[in-house]
Amino acid sequence: MDYAGQFSVVMPTLQRSDVLRTIVDRCAAHLLLAAVFVINNATDALASDSPKVRVLNQGRNIYVNPVSNLGAHEARADFLAIINDDVPFEDGALTHARRALRSHRVRVIGPAQDAFNRPAHGSRRVKIAPFFSFKGSFGTFRCLRRADYNRISDEMRIWGGDYWLFPTQSRPNGVLSGYGFDPEMGTSSDSPEFQALRAAELASARPILMPLYWTRWWHRPVEYLDRVRKLSKRLKRSENPVAQATARGSE
């Protein structure tokens, strides 16, 4: 079967998200979607009647980074979208991400911080900007070419997947603005089990991740661009008290 120009979605779940079914159904109905791999880390089995949805019941929690590795291995489409089970998104986000990935300007695309809780209507300015520093929002919705997926180290199970994929790319990554994302967030990551494992992994992950930075030609130029962009925003806020108050409220 020809999956050229299409996405395979990889979605980990512990079945704790109230919007899991909604997101899976929406993905399955998307014209650019070849397949949706729901990788079920809960002990209760899941099933789907959709021919596009393939549920991989693990019977146990294999954790988020092994899920990404498994999904990337199983996928056959040109593009991957690794999407959290609690982040509803506008359909146009995938369409625009594919356009940018086809241009080869950027490698991994995630949502900009200002895309969260943005109303899905009204005027919009869609853009993908190169960036270096990112917040937690980036890991909730990641789009990339399947050929650019670099298998995440087996030593990292729940933390550091984004920090692995991000610096290992041959070209800069990008953040997408102009489409709305409306996450529940924290349905799994706020659990005591997750937090305990995350704390244990931080110490072991840092020696793996830190040597990856400053190894690609684009790291320093894009970091510099990030700093200039942030300084420009601060200067504009200082000149506009209303914008300054709004920015503080969104942080």
CA–CA separation, 166 vs 100, rounded Å?
16
pLDDT digits (tens, 9 = 90+) for 71-80: 999 999 999 9
pLDDT digits (tens, 9 = 90+) for 220-251: 999 999 899 889 988 988 887 655 555 555 55
**CA nearest 85: which of 34, 131, 46?**
46
Which residues 6+ apart lie within 8 Å of 229 measured at CB?
Answer: 129
Mean pLDDT of 134-140: 77
Mean pLDDT of 65-85: 97
What spatial distance separates the first Cα and last Cα of the chain, rounded to whole Å? Answer: 45
Residue carrying the six token digits 């369409």: 95
Residue carrying the six token digits 């270096």: 132
Give the model's pLDDT for residue 119. 56
- What value does the mean pLDDT of the chain take? 88
> With 80 as the cut, is the pLDDT of residue 198 above it?
no
pLDDT digits (tens, 9 = 90+) for 139-191: 899 999 999 999 999 989 988 899 999 999 999 999 999 888 887 755 666 66
Give the model's pLDDT for residue 186. 58
Between 205 and 8, name the one with better pLDDT: 8
Give the model's pLDDT for residue 238. 85
Whole-model pTM: value is 0.87
